[in-house]
Structure 1
């Protein structure tokens, strides 16, 4: 089976067929347009998405009256940064930007993939954070740029 479009997302559908299969993926695999995956029931699937389309947690790859195949993102080792002032937010945003480290935001938290140097920096700057395993909805994107 080759998947060339996403049918929908579990977060926006009310339909649940009797049989649900999951494709477990790490967050960095969500950006790959072309890949081969295996469901938790052993079914091999090819994915070939159009350009500018990434997978997200809960994406429905296939659905019929009896079966649904859904993307399920595994948990990442993250630093959930919780600055208590605009100064702390500016300091850590500047430092992470200098490192070209991608971040995501959930509520009042800035999420970055775990890096021991960033953890050391957070301790030095006395910025509150938690290290935890958490599922993210989308992949961490590295943005290309140049200093020309």
Structure 2
């Protein structure tokens, strides 16, 4: 089966619609969410090809296939993250500047800044005494690098 578009996201379905169907999941690493073309396998062993016609990133909960009885949806594997919890705008500005100089992508959830684990960033946070923790967490979206050059 070749998937060329996303049907919907599970967040758009009501509870009843979702639970009357058998759910199969395709587990992807967060970095694979940005790939338009890939071969994947569901947790039930069904092989699928994904070739999205419209350029868009996949998101956790995206439904790749749905009929009256079945749903095949995207789920994301956990990432090893540094969860940064700055106490002030000064700390936020400091770490944002440092991460920007390293071209590291970040995501934000509430008051937390999330970056993929890197031992050098961990050492920097310790040196700057900015609160953080290391944890495994599922992200809904992939980290995106923003194109930039130092010309």
Task: Return the alpha-carbon distance in structure 2 between the equivalents of residues 125 and 146 of structure 1.
Answer: 27
Q: Does 2:119 align with 1:92?
A: no
Q: CA RMSD in A?
A: 0.8
TM-score by length of 2: 0.96
Q: Does 2:49 align with 1:46?
A: yes
Shift of 1:51: 4.4
Aligned length: 148
Q: Does 2:7 align with 1:11?
A: no
Map Cα deviations across residues 45-67 of structure 1 (whole Å, 9 max, x no partner): 00011343110000000000010
TM-score by length of 1: 0.98
Map Cα deviations across residues 98-133 of structure 1 (whole Å, 9 max, x no partner): 000000000000000000000000000000001000
Matched residue of 2:105: which SS? coil
* Deviant stretches of 4+, over 4 Å: none
Which segments of 5 or more consecutive residues in structure 1 lack a partner in the other structure? Answer: none
Which segments of 5 or more consecutive residues in structure 2 lack a partner in the other structure? Answer: none
Matched residue of 2:123: which SS? helix
